[in-house]
Chain A
Amino acid sequence: EAGVAQSPRYKIIEKRQSVAFWCNPISGHATLYWYQQILGQGPKLLIQFQNNGVVDDSQLPKDRFSAERLKGVDSTLKIQPAKLEDSAVYLCASSPSLSYNEQFFGPGTRLTVL
């Protein structure tokens, strides 16, 4: 079974530029999560989808971050404009359903904002 796919793996941008990350969850997984992991810390949830609907985006900085999962499968996370403090690893995870406890993580995208 293929795991969660993310691209790109690495991205370096200047502050105030825009960037987008892509995630393809495990086939059949209805629930998708985006986490931000700053160096030396644990992952922090940005947004949670159930199919193509948002379940929780309370910690998403909506003035600069946006995410969509239009067809309920793959998802994109965008930052516009980026700030220095957005430098982090962005992790995508999926699970079969909301009630399924284990989450399956992708390798992440490491973003460096200069």
Chain B
Amino acid sequence: SQQGEEDPQALSIQEGENATMNCSYKTSINNLQWYRQNSGRGLVHLILIRSNEREKHSGRLRVTLDTSKKSSSLLITASRAADTASYFCATDVEAGTALIFGKGTTLSVSS
């Protein structure tokens, strides 16, 4: 079953704008991760946030986690055409267990 649900399903923006996508999940988690998938390619790990963390940054990425609301958001600042991809949140309920992915948000950045 899908643990995470991303919102929106699709997002279209112009280069230079910020993109925000959200993820909600159902059960308590150990970690939450965000992955990117370019068309026809495998998934690439972007960032991990632990259940006891509230915010994390990596380059142009900012992730927040609200465990009381069982939700996370991924912000991509100053978007580029190369950011066009599908973005998935994935959770694990405890260390050593497999990731459970959401359905993803498809981001399109036009120049």
Q: Are B96 and A98 in contact (CB under 8 A)?
A: yes
Q: Are B97 and A56 in contact (CB under 8 A)?
A: yes
- Check: A65 CB closer than 8 A to any chain B CB: no
Q: Are B42 and A48 in contact (CB under 8 A)?
A: no
Please tell me which stretch of A14-22, A37-45, A70-78, A80-88 contacts chain B, meaning at least 4 of its Cβ atoms lie within 8 angstroms of it. Answer: A37-45
How many residue pairs bridge A and B at CB < 8 Å? 58
Q: Which residues between 78 and 95 of chain B lie within 8 Å of chain A, taking CB atoms?
A: 88, 90, 92, 95
- Shortest CB-to-CB span from A50 to chain B, Å, is 9
Residues of A within 8 A of B (CB): 4, 33, 40-45, 48, 55-56, 91, 93, 98-99, 101-108, 110
Residues of chain B at interface, number, CB under 8 A: 25
Residues of B within 8 A of A (CB): 2, 4, 31, 33, 35, 40-45, 48, 88, 90, 92, 95-104
The interface residues of chain B lying within 8 Å CB-to-CB of A99 are 95-96
Q: Are B31 and A101 in contact (CB under 8 A)?
A: yes
Most central of B45, B95, B99, B103 by chain A CB within 10 Å: B99
- Shortest CB-to-CB span from A7 to chain B, Å, is 13
